[in-house]
């Protein structure tokens, strides 16, 4: 295992850490609250070096196509401007975090933070070459964000301890992690000094 050294080409992507995705929320992810502490650790690591922190959020209209009433698979969640769409109160987002709103039109869904947003351009304008991805949920928005980050040409680190899965089908989260690694993402582990790359069999 080798230590990860952050530099000016690094950014942190915090995916959908919103009230509705936490336990008790409209679309709560089991144990989703457990990732707040490791994500706050990551935020501190990046802020210590003045590196960008990006926070994505679902920002749906009330009649969004993903909602069951419109024929979608999910209950209403993360409706723009509602308490459920707010970031988790315990999440230590810096004041200068880059907020990326996605799936904000009624007729189009977007799991990836890159889908229909200017995120790739914003990262390139800042000279970012590598992203670290964490948040909710492993098998949906994290998986799709990681896939798009790799397709956009960004080296991509993932932090399994800082994400949780919906697991509609048991094992979805594990399979999503395997897919991310197979596509080129590098799993890392947090430690007191920072991050360490995990060996991949």
Rounded-to-integer distance, Cα 93 and Cα 174, Å: 27
Rounded-to-integer distance, Cα 101 and Cα 79, Å: 11
66 in a structural domain: no
67 in a structural domain: no
CATH number at residue 14: 3.40.50.850
How far is CA 88 from its chain centroid? 13
47 in a structural domain: yes
Residues 6+ apart with CB under 8 A from 55: 14, 17, 87, 91, 93, 97, 98, 99, 100
Question: Structurally, how many domains does the chain consist of?
Answer: 1
24 in a structural domain: yes
Rounded-to-integer distance, Cα 186 and Cα 33, Å: 24
Q: Closest Cα partner for 53 from 109, 116, 114, 133?
A: 133
18 in a structural domain: yes
Residue 137 sits at φ, ψ, to 5 deg, of -110, 150
Q: Residue 201: its pLDDT value, please?
A: 34
69 in a structural domain: no
74 in a structural domain: no
Q: Domain limits at 12?
A: 3-58+84-197
63 in a structural domain: no
Q: Residue 1: its pLDDT value, please?
A: 62
User: What residues are annotated to the active site?
Assistant: 16, 102, 141
**Series of mean pLDDT values for 10-residue runs along the chain (201 residues):** 89 98 96 97 95 97 96 95 98 97 93 97 98 97 98 97 95 97 96 75 34
């Amino acid at each position: 295992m080798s230590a990860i050294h952050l530099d000016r080409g690094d950014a942190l992507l915090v995916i959908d850490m919103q009230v509705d995705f936490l336990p008790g929320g409209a679309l709560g992810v089991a144990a989703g609250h457990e990732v707040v502490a490791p994500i706050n650790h990551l935020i501190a690591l990046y802020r210590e070096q003045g590196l960008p922190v990006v926070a994505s959020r679902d920002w749906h209209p009330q009649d969004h196509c993903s909602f069951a009433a419109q024929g979608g698979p999910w209950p209403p969640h993360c409706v723009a401007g509602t308490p459920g769409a707010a970031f988790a109160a315990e999440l230590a987002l810096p004041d200068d975090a880059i907020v990326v709103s996605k799936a904000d039109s009624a007729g189009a869904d977007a799991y990836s933070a890159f889908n229909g947003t200017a995120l790739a351009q914003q990262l390139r304008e800042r000279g970012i070459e590598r992203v670290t991805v964490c948040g909710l949920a492993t098998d949906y928005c994290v998986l799709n964000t990681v896939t798009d980050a790799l397709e956009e040409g960004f080296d991509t680190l993932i932090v399994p301890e800082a994400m949780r899965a919906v697991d509609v089908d048991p094992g979805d989260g594990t399979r999503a992690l395997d897919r991310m690694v197979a596509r080129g993402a590098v799993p890392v582990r947090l430690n007191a000094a920072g991050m360490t790359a995990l060996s991949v069999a």
